[in-house]
Structure 1
Amino acid sequence: MKVACSTQGAALDAQIDPRLGRAAYFLMIDTDSQAVEVLDNSSGAASGGAGIQAAQTLASKGVQAVITGNCGPNAFATFQAANIAVYTGASGTARDALAQYQQGTLTAAGQPNVGGHFGDTRRAG
Structure 2
Amino acid sequence: MKICITSQGNDLNSELDPRFGRCKYFIFIDTDTMQYEAVENLWRDAQQGAGTQAGQFVASKGVKALITGKIGPGAERVIKAAGIKVLEAHGKIIDVINKLQEEGK
Q: TM-score range by the shorter chain?
A: over 0.9
Cα RMSD (Å): 1.3
Sequence identity of aligned pairs in percent? 43
List 4+ stretches of structure 1 deviating above 3 A: none
Matched residue count: 105
Take 1:79 and 1:23, find their aligned partners in 2: how far apart are those partners? 16
Provide closer, same or farther for how the CA distance between residues 17 and 46 of structure 1 changes in structure 2, counting only shifts above 3 A.
same
Superposition pairs for residues 85-96 of structure 1, below 5 Å? 85-88=85-88, 90-96=89-95
Partner of 1:4: 4
Unmatched tracts of structure 1, length 5 or more: 107-125
TM-score, normalising length: structure 2? 0.94
Letter in 1 for 2:94: R
Question: Which of the pair has the greater relative contact order for Cα pairs under 8 Å at 6+ separation?
Answer: 2
TM-score normalized with structure 1 length: 0.79
Residue type at the aligned position of 1:97: V
- Matched to 2:30, the amino acid is D
Q: Secondary structure of 2:43's partner? A: helix
1:15 aligns with 2:15: yes
**Structure 2 portions without partners, runs of 5+:** none
Structure of larger gyration radius = 1
The answer on 1:61 being equivalent to 2:51 is: no
